[in-house]
Amino acid sequence: MQTAPALSMPIPGHIDPVPVPRALVPRSDGRIDLLGLSKADLRMALETSQLDPKQAKLRAKQLWHWIYNRGVTDFALMTDISKAMQPWLEQRFTISRPQVVEAQVSTDGTRKWLLRTDDGNDYEMVFIPDADRGTLCVSSQVGCTLNCRFCHTGTMRLVRNLTPGEIVGQVMLARDALGEWPSQPEGRMLTNIVMMGMGEPLYNFDNVRDGLKIVMDGDGIGLSRRRITLSTSGVVPLMARAGEEISVNLAVSLHAVTNEIRDEIVPINRKYKLEQVLQACADYPGANNARRITFEYVMLKDKNDSDADARELVRLLKKYDLPAKVNLIPFNPWPGAPYECSTPERIKSFSNIVFDAGISAPVRTPRGRDIDAACGQLKTASEKRSRAELDRLAEEKQAALG
Ligand code: SAH
Ligand code: SF4
């Protein structure tokens, strides 16, 4: 058996994410989960189980189609795989889905799912239906190591990176719920994905990249990279890599126009300054007028919402010559939040100033507030575990695997 590489990368936050075992490490029942393996790893999993390379190649292709194009989780339903082979696969492999703890529907049609990982960590995903599209808001981590002051997820203590399987699993589960198998090029309900659920996707770079590559693969789900948006709070060193290796649309959580205010509300700014973030945006591969960068700006009363702030925002976007659109997000409250939302008049005035400068600046309608599904409201009961406890759990797991 392979030894599992650590999943996480060092994070300049207050807690390191918990490493979890990766691909080809069997689950507690001894079977290997095929969901989330790359095409190459899927083939390798079959070869490791003694299929000859030619067979493995053929079977991997068939399995990929059944898993990601047809949404099938039961080997017995794979009709082009022989009846003799099906139990062989069943004994060695599984095709998982995240466990659903709770599913809620908002009065506005927004849906939220509380999901649980195999090791008992809770995270959430949200589906937002609109007249002409349906957007799935996907989580990249359980919790977030960063602690933006206006964000409920930032107050969560337990942080672990989600695996590629858990990231793709969210998309699979949503399509199960929407009845969207097999994958069709037209007429989909789930048309867009935003990496705007829990977590900072660029602090889980490899898994987010590997998960999204599966989502974009044309032999499977086949969702275009133009319909996927990755949102970052400004992890400058990884922004170029995101453009090169994932090449999805970029959204940046700007939220302030001075380092002083941004240091306070988006603390990662103490490490990567506003100017560095804007320069990384200017350098983002593939950004142009047809593919603009979205700047998210949460409207906080008397904090970042003045006319002068709006004018400074315009100045900065022009100075860096950014193909930009600005998303104004009314602050979504949560219990104990230290801010209030700006008044509708203030938001309108801010929006007008940006708009008059020729930059689109729509005000986002909050969705699913009644079920705490709106931006920044996601938080689960996963609690902090001590480093000693984590080490003990890792040892137990290792021992169980022999
Ligand atoms: N961690 C990533 C993506 C997840 S958050 C990021 O920060 O970009 C998605 C968006 O919701 C971000 O722009 C985030 O700043 C914003 N947000 C967080 N809390 C919010 C709140 N309470 N009200 C409105 N927007 C919020
Ligand atoms: Fe993390 Fe994004 Fe929330 Fe900031 S806004 S704490 S980066 S999830």
DSSP summary character for residue 300: B
pLDDT tens string 339-368:
999 999 999 999 999 999 999 999 998 889
331 lines ligand 1 (CB under 6 A): yes
- What does the block give as tokens for 200? 């900072």
Give Dmax over CA atoms of the chain in angstroms. Answer: 71
Residue indicated by tokens 């989330």: 36
Secondary element (H or E) of residue 53: helix 53-64
Give the active site residues. Answer: 124, 375
Residue ranges and CATH numbers for the domains of the chain are: 31-94 (1.10.150.530), 99-382 (3.20.20.70)
Asked whether 151 lines ligand 1 (CB < 6 A), one says yes
Q: Is 298 in the pocket of ligand 1 (CB under 6 A)?
A: yes
Give the model's pLDDT for residue 28: 83
Residue nearest ligand 2's atom 6 by CA: 154
Three-class secondary structure of residue 396 per DSSP = helix
Probe target for ligand 1 pocket from 170, 231, 339, 377, with the most ligand atoms within 8 Å of CB: 231
DSSP H or E run through 170: helix 164-178
- State the pLDDT confidence band at 5, using cuts at 50, 70 and 90: very low
Query: Sign of dihedral through CA atoms 215, 218, 223, 229?
Result: positive
**CA 199 to ligand 1 centroid distance, Å:** 9
Q: Which long-range contacts (CB under 8 A, 24 or more apart) does 248-252 make?
A: 248/195, 248/212, 249/225, 249/291, 249/293, 249/294, 250/281, 250/284, 250/287, 250/293, 250/294, 251/194, 251/196, 251/293, 251/294, 251/295, 251/296, 251/327, 252/277, 252/281, 252/293, 252/294, 252/295, 252/296
The ligand placed nearest to the CA atom of residue 331 is 1
Sign, CA torsion 156/160/161/165? negative
Answer whether 231 contacts ligand 1 (Cβ < 6 A). yes
Q: Which atom of ligand 2 is nearest to the CA of 198?
A: 8
Taking the C-alpha atoms of residue 239 and residue 252, their distance in angstroms, rounded to an integer, is 10
User: pLDDT tens digit string along 151-200?
Assistant: 998 888 878 999 999 999 999 999 999 999 999 888 899 999 999 999 99
351 lines ligand 1 (CB under 6 A): no
Nearest to 347 by CA among 319, 383, 309: 309
Index of the ligand 1 atom closest to the CA of residue 255: 15
| Nearest ligand to the CA atom of 375 | 1
What stretches of 15-83 adopt beta strand conformation (E)?
A: 32-33
**Torsion sign, CA atoms 302, 304, 307, 309:** positive
Spatial separation of the C-alpha atoms in residues 63 and 68, rounded to whole Å:
8
- Ligand 2 pocket by C-beta < 6 Å: which residues? 144, 146-148, 151, 153-154, 199-200, 233, 253
Q: pTM to 2 decimals?
A: 0.90
Percentage of the residues of the chain whose pLDDT score is greater than 70:
89
Residue 23 above 80 pLDDT?
A: no
- Per residue in 51-104, pLDDT tens? 999 999 999 999 999 999 999 999 999 999 999 999 999 999 999 999 999 999
What pLDDT score does 391 carry? 61
pLDDT attached to residue 394? 61
DSSP helix/strand/coil, 175: helix
Bridge pairing between strands 99-105 and 111-116: antiparallel
Mean pLDDT of all residues in the chain? Answer: 90
CA gap 46, 89 in Å, rounded? 9
Sign of CA dihedral 240, 171, 187, 72: positive
- Is the shortest distance between the CB of 332 and ligand 1 below 6 Å? yes
167 CB near ligand 1 (under 6 Å): no
Q: Is the peptide bond before 182 cis (omega within 30 degrees of 0)?
A: yes
In this structure, what DSSP letter does residue 18 have?
A: B
